[in-house]
């Protein structure tokens, strides 16, 4: 086999591309852990909530959780909501199906009834929540979007088709 002046640079280039493709830094691995901040309209926080969401492993999908806070003022009364949800993401690339379940703590400024959610006895209540929907989250972070349904329930009522839409930023 004859080695020419042009074959040496081609072999060196091919080798350098192979070596570059094999290297993964700790920063790149950490970047794959999904974290997001977003505003959810309706959903687990009832009217709107600001949420922080993360995966429990260094992956864009799998088991994770979120916590949020929402606030509603109506006719001199106010209601604070704190959704706490465990969720699981199925999918690949940037398209995921999200399934979740948890609770939302509700605290009212005065004992009252907001719709069928009753805080008259204690001024606070827990409701059960679930989440089923689509999630768009880029692998390298950036704009994220969520949409789906969020069934809500307590001891006396069940809302199977409570909507949810979220916009935010993943990193």
Query: What stretches of the chain adopt beta strand conformation (E)?
Result: 35-42, 48-55, 62-74, 77-92, 95-108, 113-114, 117-118, 124-136, 142-149, 152-153, 158-159, 163-170
Q: What pLDDT sits at residue 162?
A: 95
Confidence of residue 27 (pLDDT cuts 50, 70, 90): very low
Does residue 22 sit in helix, strand or coil?
Answer: helix
Question: By percentage, how much of the chain surpasses pLDDT 70?
Answer: 74
Three-state DSSP state, 154: coil
Mean pLDDT of all residues in the chain? 83
In order of their start, the domains of the chain are: 33-170 (2.40.160.20)
Write down the pLDDT at residue 22.
44
Q: Of 10-24, 111-125, 142-156, give the range with the top mean pLDDT.
A: 142-156
Quickly state the pLDDT bin for 29 (edges 50, 70, 90).
very low
User: Which parts of the chain fold into alpha helices (H)?
Assistant: 7-22, 26-31
| Least confident range of 77-81, 148-152, 166-170 | 77-81
134/56 Cα distance (integer angstroms)? 20
Average pLDDT rounded to a whole number, residues 143-150: 98
Higher per-residue pLDDT: 141 or 15? 141
**Residue 145, strand partner residues:** 136, 167
């Amino acid at each position: 086999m004859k080695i020419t002046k042009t074959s040496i640079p081609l072999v060196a280039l091919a080798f350098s591309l192979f070596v570059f493709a094999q290297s993964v830094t700790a920063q790149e691995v950490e970047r794959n852990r999904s974290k997001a901040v977003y505003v959810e309209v309706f959903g687990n926080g009832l009217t709107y909530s600001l949420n922080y969401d993360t995966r429990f492993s260094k992956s864009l999908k799998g088991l994770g959780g979120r916590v949020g806070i929402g606030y509603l003022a109506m006719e001199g009364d106010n209601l604070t909501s704190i959704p706490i949800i465990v969720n699981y993401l199925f999918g690949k690339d940037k398209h995921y199906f999200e399934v979740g379940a948890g609770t939302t703590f509700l605290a009212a400024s005065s004992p009252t009834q907001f719709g069928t959610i009753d805080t008259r006895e204690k001024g606070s209540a827990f409701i059960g929540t679930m989440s089923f929907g689509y999630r768009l989250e880029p692998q390298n972070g950036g704009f994220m979007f969520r949409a789906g349904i969020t069934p809500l329930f307590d001891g006396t009522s069940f809302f199977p088709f409570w909507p949810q839409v979220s916009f935010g930023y993943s990193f």
